[in-house]
Chains A and B, each alone.
Chain A
């Protein structure tokens, strides 16, 4: 029951039926690529070349997955995408953590400790959300060189943190602006300082927006290709770059099943994050718009 009283004429019912049919069709349409990927990744190669794209596998196999993980060639090396998968984690986890913490502190300072020019500063930080990645490739490469971080994981973490701060600051600023400032005033009178107020008063109520920030940053950084390909060396590449190399390495027959399995592996973490925390994501995005 969806708590709505509807007209119950034949016409109205038919109209609803048509509506649901259209929605279902759209859902299937969007799910199709994922289905094709999954089906293809568990088919042996001869089934792929013989059958149609949508046919279910006759003899399902996990060999393509194993190959994609540990043996497939990405350029000169043939070690699969497994190593790069962990590379991605090594880049994503610190980058997400640091950018979220900095964004939270920024949002807190910009809303609860306003200073002359804080609105201007926030406006300028917002600009960061709209800067195309390509624009900064060369200066960033130069900067990383000066810092001695070229082609290192730390360098990639730094790039992602800098780019992420614009978004995380925006999230936390808009969340904290709805938290009554009197709470901070009361804590000041009680004798708490800048970090104590943040830690004891604001952080405990920030769970929804932390989830938003983490999901957003995780998917952004995990799915990044451009920075990954520009600022990494062979052994520091993220999985997206490895996937690209794997698909583009042509030695003999094209192994679509391995390609699909590798693509699934590369996409899995973001899928998992969405499934586990998706409902908090929506809740966090709408937080503040409705009281309570």
Chain B
């Protein structure tokens, strides 16, 4: 059963179309993340689901019920806001039970719900405080508690962690994941943080300019992106895009990379990853997408690559992060970033022999930016 179904939802602000016929469906118990840069329409879509803004066209169904023209209160949803939106004049206890009170839930039941939620989120000690007396992380918990108290069909999270400091954000991320596993709730979660999206989601919807570009599992979105935008948005450091020329024919495609001051480099394209679309591109410029971790040191036995394609490059910048080392080096018309093990001894200016895992590389059309192979 679909917990939430959105069909061809369109939203105009004046002459500007913010949502362009967006459709998606979420199964009960699923954790969906809407991710994209600011202005992509993800928050507008969230507000449309919540009923805070009417849509221009389309239909929204929650638990198989058309809610397109129902008020927020009638939709059986709860929302956690970016600013937490805790009622400043009420105690934590009153904040959590307000929604139940509005729905005329008897006092005893309300109190039981507050106890249950407070216990779950470990905020029992804070119940009689006002929001102003809480830290950022505590407010975050209370905001989640307020949503959890009502047990609605769908939970909406609008960038709930973006106001927390880095460490707390990671902790709360884990906690949200645990809660979801434990309670089996249906969650729609908006973020612009691609790491949050990767770690939390069952499925990710990458949005841009009012469209959903790709809807898939984190693995699909990360390893099998539909275009350059999705490929570049997911992953940190982001994917390297290298201008190359496609040569050869079916069964023997090769990519020629010309780097200034270096010999031209020719990388064979694995036959197992050929697509019919490549035939038309022979002799033309295509864009090769390589993630930093698709590179590894020549002699690395830990990389898990059976037989990467060898490649030699001059290192321009060395950035140790502790867990591993990021190397910058010119390749084609741009600098690429490669991730190598922390033991790699290389200084800027030196040449380094690397291997590239072409079996995981992706190819894009240089004009349409769409995926070729």
A residues near B (Cβ < 8 Å) are 180, 182-183, 185-192, 196, 200-201, 204-205
Residue pair A189, B87 in contact (C-beta under 8 Å): no
Q: What residues of chain B lie closer than 8 Å to A204, measured between beta carbons?
A: 88-90
A196 proximity list for chain B (CB < 8 A): 102
* Chain B residues with CB under 8 A of A191: 73, 99, 102-103
Residues of B contacting A205 with CB < 8 Å? 88-89
Indicate if B83 sits at the interface (CB-CB under 8 A).
yes
Residues in A neighbouring B52, C-beta threshold 8 A: 185, 188-189
Known A183-B87, A201-B87; contact A188-B81, beta-carbon cutoff 8 A: no
Question: Is A185 touching B79 in the complex (CB atoms < 8 A)?
Answer: yes
- CA–CA, A204 to B52, complex, Å? 23
Give complex CA distance A192, B72 in Å. Answer: 10
Is the pair B89, A189 in contact by a Cβ cutoff of 8 Å? no
State whether B87 touches A182 (Cβ < 8 A): no
Q: B85 touching A186 by the CB < 8 A rule? A: yes
Contacts of A201 in B (CB 8 A): 87, 89
Q: Is B363 close to A, CB under 8 A?
A: no
Report the separation of the CA atoms of residues A188 and B74 in the bound assembly, to the nearest whole angstrom: 10
Interface centre among A180, A185, A204, A205 (most CB of B within 10 A): A185
Interface assignment of B56: CB less than 8 Å from any CB of chain A: no
Contact A189 B77 (CB under 8 A): yes
Q: How many angstroms from the CA of A157 to the CA of B335 in the assembled complex?
A: 76
CA distance A185 to B73 in the complex (A): 10
Q: In this complex, what residue of B is CB-closest to A180?
A: B83
Is B62 among interface residues, defined by CB-CB distance under 8 A?
no
Complex-state Cα separation, A185 to B79, whole angstroms: 9
Q: A189 contacts which chain B residues (CB < 8 A)?
A: 50, 52, 72-73, 77-79, 99
A180 partner residues in chain B, CB cutoff 8 A = 83, 85
Nearest chain B residue, comparing its CB with the CB of A196: B102
Contact of B71 among A182, A183, A188, A200 (CB under 8 A): A188
**Pair count A-B, CB < 8 A:** 57
Q: Nearest A residue to B89 by beta-carbon distance?
A: A204
- For chain A, what secondary structure do more than half of its interface residues adopt (helix, strand, loop), or is it mixed? helix
On chain A, the residues within 8 Å of B77 by CB distance are 189
Quote the shortest CB–CB distance from B159 to chain A (angstroms). Answer: 11
Task: List the interface of chain B (C-beta within 8 A of A).
Answer: 50-52, 71-73, 77-79, 81-83, 85, 87-90, 98-99, 102-103, 146
Q: Which residues of A contact B146 (CB under 8 A)?
A: 186, 190
Instruction: Kindly state the separation between the CA atoms of A189 and B99 in the bound complex, as whole angstroms.
Output: 8
* Contacts A/B (CB < 8 Å), 19 sampled: A182-B83, A183-B85, A183-B87, A183-B88, A185-B50, A185-B52, A186-B79, A186-B146, A188-B51, A188-B52, A188-B71, A188-B73, A190-B146, A191-B73, A191-B103, A200-B98, A204-B88, A204-B89, A205-B88
Q: Please indicate the chain B residues that have their CB under 8 angstroms from the CB of A188 in the complex.
A: 51-52, 71-73
Determine chain B's interface SS by DSSP, over half rule: loop
- Given the known interface contacts A190-B98, A191-B103, A196-B102, the answer about A185 and B88 at a Cβ–Cβ threshold of 8 Å is no
B102–A192 touching, CB < 8 Å: yes
User: Which partner residue on chain A sits nearest B80 by CB separation?
Assistant: A186
Contacts of B50 in A (CB 8 A): 185, 189
Residues of A within 8 A of B79 (CB): 185-186, 189
- Minimal beta-carbon separation of A113 from chain B (angstroms): 12
Nearest neighbor of A202 in chain B, beta-carbon distance: B89
For the complex, what is the distance from the CA of A205 to the CA of B83, rounded to whole Å?
A: 17
Nearest neighbor of B158 in chain A, beta-carbon distance: A182
Verify B87–A200 contact, CB threshold 8 A: yes
Q: A185-B52, A204-B89, A205-B88 are in contact. Are A190 and B102 (CB under 8 A)?
A: yes
Q: Which residues of B contact A182 (CB under 8 A)?
A: 81-83, 85
Q: Which residues of A contact B73 (CB under 8 A)?
A: 188-192
**Interface hub of A182, A191, A200, A201 (most chain B Cβ within 10 A):** A191
Within the complex, what minimum Cβ distance (angstroms) separates A258 from chain B?
50
Question: Least Cβ distance of B105 to chain A in Å?
Answer: 10
**Residues of chain A contacted by B71 (CB below 8 angstroms):** 188
Complex interface: chain B residues within 8 A of A183 (CB): 85, 87-88
Report the bound CA distance from A209 to B287 in whole Å: 60
Inter-chain CA distance A185–B78, complex, in Å, is 11
Do the beta carbons of B87 and A187 come within 8 Å of each other? yes
A119 shortest CB reach to chain B, Å: 14
A180 → B minimal CB distance (Å): 6
Apart from A182-B81, A182-B83, A192-B98, 19 more pairs, CB < 8 Å? A180-B83, A180-B85, A182-B85, A185-B85, A186-B85, A186-B87, A188-B51, A188-B52, A188-B71, A188-B72, A188-B73, A189-B78, A189-B79, A190-B73, A190-B99, A190-B146, A192-B73, A200-B98, A204-B89
**A residues less than 8 Å from B82 (CB atoms):** 182
- With the chains together, A180 CA to B71 CA distance in Å? 20
Question: CB-CB < 8 A to B99: which residues of A?
Answer: 189-191
- How far does the Cβ of A217 sit from chain B's closest Cβ, in whole Å? 24
The 7 lowest CB-CB distance pairs between A and B, nearest first, are: A204-B89, A191-B102, A190-B99, A182-B85, A191-B73, A186-B85, A182-B81
Residues of chain A contacted by B102 (CB below 8 angstroms)? 190-192, 196
Closest CB-CB distance, B163 to chain A, in whole Å? 12
Complex interface: chain A residues within 8 A of B103 (CB):
191
Nearest CB in chain A: distance from B61 CB, A: 18
Q: Kindly state the separation between the CA atoms of A196 and B98 in the bound complex, as whole angstroms.
A: 11
